[in-house]
Amino acid sequence: MATLPAPCSRHHHHRWLSRPAGRLTRTYASLRASPSPTVGREAAVARMPRLAHRDVMLSLAREAEARLGARLLPSEVPANVAAFSDDEGRALGSVDVRRGAPGSSIDFMLEAWFHRALPGGGAIDITALIVFLNGATDAPHFLMEFIQGGPSSLVVLLDLFPRKDLPLHPDYIDTYYAATGVDAHRRDVHRIPQVRPYVSSSLLVRTLWSPTAVVVDVQCGEEGGEAKLEEIVRGQLTTSAAAVLDVWLERCAGSVVQMEAAERESLVARDKMITTMDVDLNLSANLPKMFSADVSRRVVAEISKAFVGS
């Protein structure tokens, strides 16, 4: 997902002003404690192996949902998309989509949880939290995805996903990236010795991220690597992800920006172009590698309703 082709790891081939420090500290503490998610979400995700990145995503999704509140409509995904499986339980998934309430800036919030045990051993585990905004604002979308291709390896995608071509709009960079301090979190993550940049094979995809995006590959090695990865995820990655989500909730989620009709239409068209590409070139191509064709078609169709309005 996330306009990123499935990653290729060492082991497997598949894929604003922030709150006062005290408030953020409480947020981090609650995330590390991983409070119980809502029953529906918990029931679906509990079927999958427990992983550190999945615990973090559960807590962040719950934080986003709680703070967005009435700006989100109830979920309407069918039961066979809210929880699905394939191959006698070797592949498990859950997708939830909540549309934005009328009059809000929220287009939709999407959660996706995938687990696939591989025939030769090991597994691929993907979790994503994506919240898109509509034409009421030009503020960035929120995007976070974890892709674990082995017990000691993880691809991390975390961004305030830009909705304008940044070289043409330096004021946009100042407002959402420089003034918010989010680049400090990219730098903090890159200081971790086990982290290196993740470079997509798609030249187009590389142009879409903001300059403050955390797009990294965490490789912790074989000996003690699993414990080290969990330490990194529950430490710096949780801190950075919680802070970036907080910036987005404070500065972007409730934003309303006055635009000319033509500018608004161009913005919405750009969003749709990117999401259509994601569905066509990423989801439709890669989900069948984890699930059967019938399951994949059903899930892609439901995600398409959110992404491209089909």
Query: Above 60 in pLDDT, residue 39?
Result: no
Q: For every residue of 65-102, which 3-state class applies, written as one string?
A: HHHHHHHECCCCCCHHHHCEEEHHHCEEEEEEEEEECC
Query: Above 90 in pLDDT, residue 30?
Result: no
Looking at residues 45-63, what average pLDDT do you find? 95
pLDDT at residue 279, as a whole number: 84
Please, which pLDDT band fits residue 286 given cuts at 50, 70 and 90?
Answer: confident
- Rounded-to-integer distance, Cα 169 and Cα 167, Å: 6
pLDDT at residue 1, as a whole number: 60
Q: Which residues pair with 161 in a beta bridge?
A: 141
Angle, CA 51 vertex, CA 48 and CA 54 arms, to 5°: 80
Q: Tokens in use for 50?
A: 């427990």
Q: Which long-range contacts (CB under 8 A, 24 or more apart) does 57-60 make?
A: 57/111, 57/113, 57/127, 57/128, 57/129, 57/144, 57/146, 58/34, 59/30, 59/31, 59/34, 59/35, 60/31, 60/129, 60/144, 60/241, 60/242, 60/245
Q: Which amino acid is at 310?
A: S
Phi first, then psi: give them for residue 128, nearest 5 degrees. -145, 140
Provide the whole-model pTM: 0.88
Q: Which domains are present in the chain?
A: 41-256 (3.40.1500.20)
Measured in whole angstroms, the distance separating CA 225 from the mean position of its chain's CA atoms is 24
Give the CA distances from residue 136 to residues 102, 199, 210, 256, in Å, rounded to whole numbers and listed in that order.
Answer: 11, 32, 21, 5
pLDDT at residue 4, as a whole number: 43
- Rounded-to-integer distance, Cα 205 and Cα 198, Å: 12
Query: Above 50 in pLDDT, residue 5?
Result: no
